[in-house]
Amino acid sequence: MKSQNSKVVSYLLLKKVLLPLCFLLTACESLDFSDCIIRKDAELPDKDLKRGHAGQYYYDELKASVNNDPDDDGYYYNFSIAESLPEGLDVIVDGRYVIFEGITLKKGQYNIYISLGVDPYEYDDEEGDIDVCSIGNTSRRYKLIIGD
């Protein structure tokens, strides 16, 4: 009886796990599963925004990235920004940059919440990799101070 159960378990393991895995690995030559071993996450810089002065031009930028990937330009950066900026200051998204610029007359402290998700570019050529692993999202709160 034990031998019969062992054969059934071996058959199920072969049918349900090993055969689909072999098919996946041989049919998808361009997939690089080694990328799944080292986790990749979207990152926003851990920095304070520059302090601004009322009535003067303000400029600062944040550069997003993907950790553990030297080619972090190879992604679409999807920002969600909730801000309470004073009149005269604008938020501009340009690729992987979030830019704050303009002139405001209003002094105060302003909170900016940024969420970031990234998606890899898709490659159609034979040499391009297809990323099958998910990339972690992130969010961060920034504080902008406009003084005298």
What pLDDT, in 10s, does the model give residues 40-54? 889 999 999 999 999
pTM for this predicted structure: 0.68
Q: Which residues of 17-30 are buried (b: 16+ CB within 10 A; e: fewer)?
A: eeeeeeeeeeeeee
pLDDT, one tens digit per residue, over 90-126 is 999 999 999 999 999 999 999 999 999 998 876 444 5
35: number of Cβ within 10 Å: 18
